[in-house]
Amino acid sequence: MKAAMTAFASARYVLRLYVTGLSPRSMRAISNTRWICDTYLSGRYDLEVVDIAQHPAEAKDKQIVAAPTLIKTLPQPLRRFIGDMSQTERILLGLGLDVQLP
Amino acid sequence: MEETLHAIRSGQVDALVVEGNDGPQIYTLQGLDAETNRFRGAILDQVNDAVIAVNHENCIIYLNSAAERLYGVTISKALGQTLPQIYNCRWGHEDDEAAAMTALLERGEWRGENVHIRRDGIEINAESSITVLRDVSGQSTGILSVIRDVTERKCSENKVLVSEIRYRRLFETAHDGVLLLNPATREIIDANPFMTEMLGYSHRQLVGKELFEIGLLKDEAASQEMVRKLSRTNQVRYDDLPLKGTGGQLHEVEVVANLYDEGGLPVIQCNVRDITARKRSEEQVRLLMAEVNHRAKNLLAVVLAVAQQTAKYGDLPSYVKRLSDRIDGLAAGQDLLVRNLWQGVEVSDLVKAQLAHFEDLIGTRILMHGPCVQLTAAAAQGVGMALHELATNASKYGALSNFEGQVHISWRVTAAAKPGFSMSWTESGGPRVVEPVRKGFGQVIIGRMAEASVLGTAEIRFHEEGLSWTLNAAAENVLTGRNQNESAQGDA
């Protein structure tokens, strides 16, 4: 487990956030995700935001059932997070980042 | 799945995706607000201006398609990023940014211009309208910027500005007067500095006046006639008009008036060229040409007389030789006069020119002595011919025909109430002189012609030891004004 955590500490993250238009929750999800990435994955992440209202086909392809949804494609395994991404500790754990929050 | 249900139950989800017959359907869970937001988003996507909304953390929460194009970014990459990650601002003045912030804080909005520098370095002249976003309780939640790309307009404005500066400079520094007139009132609406300097009027004094009021046209009727002509032909030209300045100075001017269209309004532009100096120069050339013509005729008359008189004596071969020598002598004197712009000839220069063939003897066998004085053109011509004749005679029969003879040439100005000019040619040491039996044309030249040229008297003596020639005249008939009153002390 510790070895896996070490590997995650240097891996490049590919993330995709699925939102719906300009809703406040979507905006919060975008803002929170960016903050997490900039703070804990600075310089080694690639985040793409997709509005499923405009691209519903993408939702189907990626089996999105609710929005906002954040998908971690890389490093494997694939992980999904649903909500406004305000639960930072849960997200970090899901991303495999062993970080001690204040 | 359990996690999804938990999220839906706890209100963390905006929308659900359900697979239908026509593909995936999006069901929003927030009712009217979400639909309204979607509708607004769709509208904002259609506008040409870039629209960007940021939250309190300065993170982008919305940008439309126009903003994507303007800043070269995609929505998926830009959302959640801060504005400086998309572009930086450059302000026209260092205080502008602070003033914009103050306006946002105090009034909740700011409109103005600055430069946005994209991440790829491209600069955009932006005209922005920024408004503070507020929620239903009035609390600030971020700011909304509507940005119009005015780069092209700015570029055009700059070109217009450069053009304005360039042509304004031409107008201000032109060495022609320029007047702009309103054709409807015929009044001056602008004048360049050269015009005000030429006339002595201030700009304010000129503006509002008609051309006849500044003396450019003789009366109001002439002013009206000019405008009538302009309306028919678009251009009127006056080649020679008198124009008096406020100080009384008279200018001769050339005026070219044109009727132009300036943004739909007609305007008359009068270019006023001061041709006073050119006219004066033309008059001088005309006088000079008349003088040249007069002198040429005089010279031809002298040549004709010399030719006729020379023909009276001797055979044809000697005639050709003598005539040629005499014309050479005339030409030498002519050269001196031209070199001195017909203003007179120094006596010593005249002597040297006429005795050019004996240049080696000057200072040894030909001795010159006299003050530095200048003969008039007429006197130089007569005295020059006489000197040439005397030298020719001396080389044939007199002091310069052997190896010992000498010639003393002297001239002086007598200091008296009415100064006189005296010049002498004295030969010695040559063969014994016998007075000729008959008088040839040579004697006419050194006698009557020389006398006529100085309005004086010439005396020729044939002494056994050598010929002597003396010419006396009033100095005022012989010398130029430059040295009539000068002392007669200096020697050549």
Residue B216: both structure tokens together: 């450019």
The answer to whether the CB of A70 falls within 8 A of the CB of A29 is yes
Instruction: Set out the domains of chain B in order of their start, with CATH numbers.
Output: 49-154 (3.30.450.20), 174-279 (3.30.450.20), 312-478 (3.30.565.10)
Question: Which of A71, A67, A37 shows the shortest CA–CA distance to A54?
Answer: A67
Residue burial B318-347, b: 16+ Cβ < 10 Å; e: rest: eeeebbebbbebbebbbebbeebebebbbb
B21 touches chain A (CB under 8 A): no
Interatomic CA distance for residues B69 and A38, integer angstroms: 25
Q: On the CB side of B478, how many CA atoms lie within 13 Å of its CA?
A: 29
B13 pLDDT more than 80: no
User: Average of pLDDT values for B236-253?
Assistant: 86
Tell me which residues of chain B, numbers 28 to 67, contact chain A at a CB-CB cutoff of 8 Å. Answer: 28, 30, 33-34, 37-38, 40-41, 55, 57, 59, 61-62
Dihedral class, residue A53 (left if φ above 0, else alpha if ψ from -120 to 50, else beta):
alpha
Quick: pLDDT tens for B69-121: 999 998 888 888 889 999 999 998 889 999 999 998 888 889 899 999 999 99
- A21 in reach of chain B (CB within 8 A): yes
Both tokens assigned to B455: 């309005």
A21:B38 CB<8 A: yes
ipTM computed for the complex: 0.76
Element (H, E) at B21: none
Cα(B347)–Cα(B380) distance, rounded to whole angstroms? 8
Is A26 an interface residue toward B (CB < 8 Å)? yes
A93/B contact by beta carbon, under 8 A: no
Q: Quick check: A80 contacting B, CB < 8 Å? A: yes
Q: Quick one: pLDDT at residue A61? A: 81
pLDDT per residue, tens digit, chain A (102 aa), is 455 555 566 789 999 999 887 677 888 888 899 899 999 998 899 999 888 887 888 887 888 888 899 999 988 888 989 888 988 988 998 888 876 665
A66/B28 touch (CB, cutoff 8 Å), yes or no: no
Q: What is the pLDDT of residues B204-218, one digit of tens each?
A: 999 999 988 888 888
Residue with the bigger pLDDT between B20 and B166: it is B166
Spell out the domains of chain A, with CATH numbers in brackets. Answer: 2-95 (3.40.30.10)
